[in-house]
Structure 1
Amino acid sequence: MPELPEVEALAEMLRERLTGRAIRRVDVGTISALKTWSPAPADLVGRPVTEVHRHGKWLDVATGDRPTATDSPAPHLVVHLARAGWLRWYDTVPSTPVRPGPSPLALRVVLDDASGFDLTEAGTRKRLAVHLVNDPLDVPAIASLGVDPLGPDLTVERLAALLGSTNQQIKGLLRDQGKIAGIGNAYSDEILHAARTSPFALTRSLEPQDVRRLHEALRRVLAEALGAARGRPARELKDAKRQGMRVHGRTGQPCPVCQDTVREVSFADSSLQYCPTCQTGGRLLADRRMSRLLR
């Protein structure tokens, strides 16, 4: 799943290429991806793109008024790529018509210079979400987002307050979009490895020095990942993300810090990776559905 660094890199790329260009056409390939009915895709046609934002893992393409008419509020095209969605950029959009059906192509946006992008989704579990709204906060998942982890509001004190507000496993809190927006399964593994913290540690068990170490690791891991992603073509971002991982997705390989073997805990539809030496004092985490730290 694309997380904050990849989504921010996509937003920056789109901001550079879309801003000031008018939307010529919007074609829907997968009806189920469109989660709203008003405004309609046709309401985007003829409007200039004024800005591209990121909200957590959401992309937000903002439009302006059409030059020849006074319109209702200009819509935002808001997208969540989910687990298997992606964005494909074209300097010249293919001339092949978009036809609704089982194709991975969910949505195509064509600009006035014939450039544009496709939103695609692989696999059979279709979760990519496209909303057309007058205000991004009309999307409940955006309205409920927590603090941006790379923004100025996530201070050590704010992180300590978030950790103290509940007593849950820390990996779950890092992935909770209502508390910290933009971190998913992969980067939570990487952050906890960098912070030398067990993914099953309870949030209220962290001492002040642990919180400071977690805050530093969180900011550093995400900033480094964003630096590696920034400026890359969209087609290279997935590989860049995989190549930058130290433990996530590297079960059975040596930890780059201590050379211990990276281990895995599997759940119903996901898994986590960690280093026992770096994170759990050498203890292994039980690999079962209701995993708990072996005692």
Structure 2
Amino acid sequence: MPELPEVTALASFLTERASGLAVQRIDVVAFSALKTFDPPVSALDGATVRGAERRGKFLAVKIGEQYLVCHLSRGGWLQWRDAMPTTPAKPGRGPLALRVHLEGECGWDLTEAGTQKRLAVYVVQDPMEVPGIARLGPDALDPELDVATLAALLADRRKQIKGLLTDQSTIAGIGNAYSDEILHTAKLSPFKLASSFTPAEVERLHAAIRTVLSDAVERSVGQRAATLKEEKKTGLRVHRRTGEACPVCGDTIREVSFSDSALQYCPTCQTGGTPLADRRLSKFGIRT
């Protein structure tokens, strides 16, 4: 899933490549992806791209006086094309969801891998009209999200910190991958309750959020859209590295699986050497 660093890089990439170019037309291939109908997508025809920005994990492209807003969800991605296909895109079961044709025969595709189609596209006058954007909490890299503000967000929240970090209404921009990285850097258990944090632990968490995300943004911005996924993978130290050695202490990175996701962590760095219970395996009598 694209998170704050990747969406920041995609916004920068589109601003550089598409700004000043007029939209020729937009083909909606997966009609389920389009969540708004007034104004219609055709209202963007002939309007000029004025830039792109990130709102949480949403990508908002300003076209004329309106915005084409996209949430790429888990399997979505943006693919830039220097030369668009000449044959019309046809609705079907393929990965293509939406195609933006720009003057000069270039443009971009929004695609989505997998069977669960969650990619969402909106045409709005103001990004705040998108319900998911209106509900966003403070941005993870907003300078106003200081240690005191973070402490207030955690106070009295009897929720595991892993879930709280990925709750976009609490802090915007962090997903499954970077929450694993942040908690590993901060040396905190993903199951630790937010309400139990000491002042020192809040400071460690705040520093880790800044460091992990800022480093990832620095690595990502300037990359072509086609190389961003691989750049993200190479920069991750624990996420999706189950069974590998922790780069800090050498212990084996472990995993806790859920119905549709998983987290990774280092027992030595984060849980005092104690493995966390993996309920998915425990129900089969397998010890973890």
Normalised by the shorter chain, which TM-score bucket?
over 0.9
1:137 aligned residue: 128
1:32 aligned residue: 32
1:12 aligned residue: 12
| Distance across 2 between alignment mates of 1:107 and 1:82 | 14
Aligned counterpart in structure 2 of residue 110 of structure 1, from 101, 110, 120? 101
2:254 aligned residue: 263
1:187 aligned residue: 178
2:144 aligned residue: 153
Q: How does the TM-score come out when normalised to structure 2?
A: 0.96
User: Which runs of structure 2 are paired with 1:122-271 in the superposition (5 Å)?
Assistant: 122-271=113-262
The letter of the residue matching 1:180 is: I
Q: CA deviation at 1:289?
A: 4.7
| Distance across 2 between alignment mates of 1:259 and 1:19 | 47
| Further displaced range: 102-111 or 258-267 | 102-111
| Distance across 2 between alignment mates of 1:203 and 1:124 | 34
Q: CA deviation at 1:290?
A: 11
> Is the contact between residue 63 and residue 75 of structure 1 (CA under 8 Å) also seen in structure 2?
yes
| Distance across 2 between alignment mates of 1:35 and 1:290 | 38
> Is the contact between residue 146 and residue 180 of structure 1 (CA under 8 Å) also seen in structure 2?
yes
CA deviation profile, 1:156-185 (whole Å, cap 9, x unmatched): 111001011412100111000001101000
- Describe the SS at the equivalent of 2:172: coil
| Distance across 2 between alignment mates of 1:290 and 1:217 | 30
The letter of the residue matching 2:28 is: V
The letter of the residue matching 1:161 is: A
| Distance across 1 between alignment mates of 2:225 and 2:280 | 35
CA deviation profile, 1:19-73 (whole Å, cap 9, x unmatched): 2211111111111111111111110000011221110000001122xxxxxxxxx
Q: CA deviation at 1:150?
A: 1.0
> Is the contact between residue 29 and residue 103 of structure 1 (CA under 8 Å) also seen in structure 2?
no
| Distance across 1 between alignment mates of 2:87 and 2:225 | 21
Q: CA deviation at 1:123?
A: 1.1
Q: What are structure 1's unaligned runs of at least 5 residues?
A: 65-73
Q: CA deviation at 1:241?
A: 0.8
Aligned counterpart in structure 2 of residue 283 of structure 1, from 274, 277, 282? 274
| Distance across 2 between alignment mates of 1:242 and 1:17 | 24
CA 1:104 to 1:179, structure 2 compared with 1: closer, same or farther past 3 Å? same
Q: What is the aligned residue count? A: 283
The letter of the residue matching 2:55 is: H
- Describe the SS at the equivalent of 1:127: coil
Structure 1 residue ranges, 4+ long, deviating more than 6 angstroms after superposition: none
Aligned counterpart in structure 2 of residue 94 of structure 1, from 85, 88, 97? 85
Identity value in percent:
59
2:53 aligned residue: 53
- Describe the SS at the equivalent of 2:279: coil
| Distance across 1 between alignment mates of 2:208 and 2:61 | 31
Q: How does the TM-score come out when normalised to structure 1?
A: 0.93
| Distance across 2 between alignment mates of 1:63 and 1:223 | 28
> Please, what is the CA RMSD of the aligned residues?
1.4
| Distance across 2 between alignment mates of 1:61 and 1:21 | 12
CA deviation profile, 1:238-284 (whole Å, cap 9, x unmatched): 11111111110000000000000000001110000000000000011
Q: CA deviation at 1:75?
A: 2.2
| Distance across 2 between alignment mates of 1:153 and 1:143 | 18
| Distance across 1 between alignment mates of 2:74 and 2:12 | 21
1:69 aligned residue: none
Q: CA deviation at 1:112?
A: 1.3
- Describe the SS at the equivalent of 1:83: coil
The letter of the residue matching 1:82 is: S
Aligned counterpart in structure 2 of residue 83 of structure 1, from 51, 62, 74? 74
| Distance across 2 between alignment mates of 1:191 and 1:232 | 22
CA 1:261 to 1:290, structure 2 compared with 1: closer, same or farther past 3 Å? closer
